[in-house]
Amino acid sequence: MPFKKQKLPAIIFSLRTGIPALALFICASSLIVPGDNRDERKAAGNKTPSSLPDWAFGGFVRAPGVNPVISPIDKTLFNCPMKKVAVAWESNDTFNPGAAVKDGKVIVLYRAEDKSGVAIGERTSRLGYASSADGLSFQRRPLPVLYPDEDNQKAFEFPGGCEDPRVAATEDGTYVVIYTQWNRKLPRLGVATSKDLIKWTKHGPIFRKAFNGKFFNIASKSASIVTTIKGNKQVIVKLNGRYFLYWGEHHVYGATSDDLVNWQPVVDSHQNLKEFISPRQGFFDSDLTECGPPAVMTDKGILLLYNGKNAAGDKGDKRFTPNSYCAGQVLFDKNDPTKAIARLDVPFLRPMEPFEKSGQYVAGTVFIEGLVYFRKKWFLYYGCADSRVGVAVYDPLHPALPDPLPE
């Protein structure tokens, strides 16, 4: 469904003070305007941001002594219904987690790869289940809960598997996971639902019916459903009478739905996908702007945490490792979810720890996918170098600093 196109203002005002953000930028290098302001950024130097703007979440603190919270193991075997053999399904890598809260516990659905291939994307991925009473120490089920099977989705999910889940819950306790179906030909966003996060009903590609199938055979990845906090619970919320999600790997796009299963991409007046935000030359997100965990409705707007990939060469931000993935934030207008009104110029989380820079993705990642409101704090779960799962925590009552910028 098309939305009215609106241009971003040349100067974004602070949502709290009304002072032009360009002026505030001189005082806090983490403030933003949604354009290319590299001159102002260079003038500020490489100082560590003293704080984040009032609309952003964070800083997130890596939980000491527990990371990584999920790592590969080779002792768990699964009788693969497709290969007809027992496989060590989580022996090579465990990463890119979605997360939800159920019955007072944090549940993480993590992507697990076996050893059937030799490179990223060449193994079979399945989704594992881990639960935690404190959000930090996890107990894992021995078998995957979502995987390629002899079902009506096997043409989309095998041999590559089920990848990169994002999980959110409805008010009635239905869990919705949107994940990448990977058959090694074309990645597609697929959806499944569950009441217990263990037994899942697959519904297939989310864009299959939209616009008479126009977007069925396009590459689609990374979907972030809009949520809100109701009664201390994070639940899926409707915007203007419909559900809304952000999606995309290179650009950030949008889609709407009446039932959380069939989604219709947001298009422009020419019926092409409408781009909400895109990579910025010279910034940490100069190569990709890939959606992260479920977006959150706040009193300031709709907050989307996303993964920015830094381009190599002159197009990237030379302060950050080429091809590394760092975490950014962008705020959308709550009355027009297609309109970006604020955006961080530097990441709030970046690969710093050894486990975030060692693994199958050597440039380093803090690939954020799981965000839950738990015990009045925000727990952020992320993939570490495409190999392990880490956690960082934001306490709104005691905000910490964002990650420092490189020296």
Summarised one tens digit per residue, pLDDT across range 273-284 is: 999 999 999 999
Percent of the chain with pLDDT over 70: 88
- Give residue 5's pLDDT: 35
Checking DSSP bridges between strand 223-230 and strand 295-297, what pairing results, if any?
Answer: parallel
Compute the average pLDDT of residues 332-345: 98
Compute the average pLDDT of residues 248-269: 98
pLDDT of residue 31 exceeding 50: no
pLDDT of residue 108 exceeding 70: yes
**What is the distance between the alpha carbons of residues 6 and 4, in angstroms, rounded to a whole number?**
6
Compute the average pLDDT of residues 131-136: 99
50 pLDDT band, cuts 50/70/90, is low
Compute the average pLDDT of residues 63-88: 97
Percent of the chain with pLDDT over 90: 86
| Phi, psi values for residue 397, rounded to 5° | -80, -20
Q: Which residues contact 183 (CB under 8 A, 6 or more apart)?
A: 155, 156, 157, 158, 159, 160
Summarize pLDDT for 383-396 with one digit per residue, the tens: 999 999 999 999 99
Compute the average pLDDT of residues 193-215: 98
pLDDT of residue 235 exceeding 90: yes
**What is the distance between the alpha carbons of residues 138 and 296, in angstroms, rounded to a whole number?**
25
374 pLDDT band, cuts 50/70/90, is very high
CA R_g for the chain: 20
Residue 43 parent element (H or E): helix 38-44
pLDDT of residue 46 exceeding 50: no
Compute the average pLDDT of residues 116-144: 95
pLDDT of residue 82 exceeding 50: yes
- Give residue 13's pLDDT: 33
Q: Write down the mean pLDDT value for the chain.
A: 90
- Give residue 117's pLDDT: 83
pTM over 0.85: yes
4 pLDDT band, cuts 50/70/90, is very low
